[in-house]
Amino acid sequence: MSRVDGPRPARRWSPQRGAALSLMLILITALLAGGALAMYLQLADTKAAKFLSESRGSLFCAEAGLAASRSYVATHATDWPAMLDGDTSNDPDGYPIEGDLDGDGVMDYHVEVRDNDDELPPATNDPSLDTDATVFVVSTCLRYPDTPREVLEMISFSGSGFNYRNQSGQGAGGTNNAN
């Protein structure tokens, strides 16, 4: 057979040509987008669970600091003015109260004493002066810096005093009027 010299006949273009490749690219893109969305949702859920866990741990840490400081604050009630005045040079030993819950050498909570609003008008409140023997004990958790928690408790110092119920005839422990 002889070859015909001259222009080659043009190939016919088919509209279906490359359709499979386009379909596969669209399908792979959709699957990748779906996978990225699923991973994003899973990571967000994990982050939320971690935040909730640390938030609870931070609250428990602050409460532990409050519980550990109660006896110290009660036995140093006469030192409350020194604790409130803002001058750290005259604070009693061990104040502010700090503690390590897990034994790693890093302080987990910090506890300090703050004054309540106890000055009567027209005087303005002075946070460095306690006039009613009532203060707030404030415990702050340092262990979880992303989820800080602070717990406070109001306590009052009333002194030891005497049991005057004996004089009413009722008596403490059934002593009637025997003082």
Sign of the CA dihedral with 74 first, then 79, 85, and 86 last? negative
Number of H helices and number of E strands within the chain?
2, 4
pTM for the model stands at 0.61
* pLDDT tens sequence across 140-152: 999 988 888 999 9
Assess whether pLDDT exceeds 70 at residue 165: no
Identify the three-state secondary structure at position 139: strand
Encode pLDDT of 26-51 as tens digits: 999 999 999 999 999 999 999 888 88
Owner of token pair 């604790």: 83
